[in-house]
Structure 1
Amino acid sequence: MSHLLIIGDKSDQNPVKAFHPAYTVTNIQNKIRTIDGTKVSYSAWVRLFKLHAKGYKVLAHIDGTDPPLKTDPTYEAWSEIDAIVLQWIYGTISDDLLARVLEPDSTAYETWSKVQNIFLNNKGSRAAALEHEFNNLTLRAMSSLEAYCQRLKDLASQLNDVDCPVNENCLVLQLVCGLPSEFDTVGAYLNKTLPPWDTACSMLQLEN
């Protein structure tokens, strides 16, 4: 893949030269939130990263597509773009994750795979710990109703990452389960109607 594109027809004596779209990204953190495994789950990070990788025409650098041979005339341009994608990965993971995946001469795909392995290995033990916290979380243990709702949502996202999906009905039921007695009336209504998650949280805010 050449990083230099030529715009204009053959008769143009001064064709406009345009760089590969990846060169236009100046601050990837403004586009992709930093993954920390809690507030930003692995699955959310992957979705955002792939969305931007597709938009900036670099998806082949993280999907396992074979790179050109080092003897190929396009290799140097490919290597430059790969270094940019690698910087995107390093720039959107937490410091502790960076320390675990930072290696000399690594490609974007190799680093992408290391991040994947960190979050998807040992699924059983991670799922058990997440399920325990999800099932036992209460509003009284949190600083606010907003924090309680957000933590439940974050835990559900992390459970999805380890192949233990939490559907919206279960999320609402667990939300009600951790409420103190002063929310009994609205809680009974939520248990009966099982509204969408955002609606349930809004109803609790009105009662708070």
Structure 2
Amino acid sequence: MDAWVLLRDIFQDHQTSRAVTLKQEFTTTRMEDFPNASVYCQRLKSLADQLKNVGALVTNSRLVLQLVSGLNEAYKGVGTQIRHAKSLLPFTEARSSLVLEERELAAMVSHGSGSAMVASVDDTPLPSDKHKLTPREPKKFPRPKFGNWP
């Protein structure tokens, strides 16, 4: 029995310092440090679960707000939508919105890069300068005469 009491006391002594470390990591987690939205969300959820295990519960609201505050520029639009929803979404729904946005951005990039490749591959020389139009003086037309008007 004494071994269990000793282990419990050691765990409780380290619990506070572990909670401080986890809170710091939780609040400084940013999407740009991860390869994609899913991994970013998994890390936030894992940190929230670890905080719960040391007695520092992270509410759904806090988890969703941290998810939004850590987004990079490309995802600010979806972050704004999540923040301004009538009621704050559950974390799973916020995560789904973020992953969907990531897919749409990837599709836009892949379509855009295909167009850019076509444009950059076309190196056809332009017609020589002698075929360019040169500005001319405006043609002067005679003024119509009406009655006694000059």
Q: Normalising by structure 1, report the TM-score.
A: 0.44
Q: Which residue of 2 aligns with 1:198?
A: 92
Q: Which residue of 1 aligns with 2:75?
A: 183
2:131 maps to 1:207: no
2:38 maps to 1:140: no
| Aligned residue among 16, 21, 25 for 1:124 | 16
Output the CA distance in 2 between the equivalents of 1:179 and 1:165: 22
Runs of 4+ in 1 over 3 A off after TM superposition: 109-121
Distance 1:205 1:127, change over 3 A: same
* The structure with more helix, counted as a fraction of residues: 2
Q: Normalising by structure 2, report the TM-score.
A: 0.59
Which ranges in structure 2 are unaligned for 5 or more consecutive residues?
A: 103-150
1:103-130 C-alpha deviation (Å, 9 max, x unpaired): xxxxxx8877676556443222111110
Q: Kindly state the Cα deviation for residue 152 of structure 1 after the two structures are TM-superposed.
A: 0.5
Q: How many residues align?
A: 100
| Aligned residue among 158, 162, 167 for 2:54 | 162
2:71 maps to 1:150: no
Identity of aligned residues (%): 38
Distance 1:149 1:115, change over 3 A: farther
1:26-175 equivalence runs, <5 A: 119-175=11-67
Calculate the aligned-residue CA RMSD, in Å.
2.1
- Which of 1 and 2 has greater Rg? 2
Q: Kindly state the Cα deviation for residue 165 of structure 1 after the two structures are TM-superposed.
A: 0.8
Distance 1:159 1:199, change over 3 A: same
SS in 2 for 1:147: helix
1:65-104 C-alpha deviation (Å, 9 max, x unpaired): xxxxxxxxxxxxxxxxxxxxxxxxxxxxxxxxxxxxxxxx
Distance 1:195 1:120, change over 3 A: same
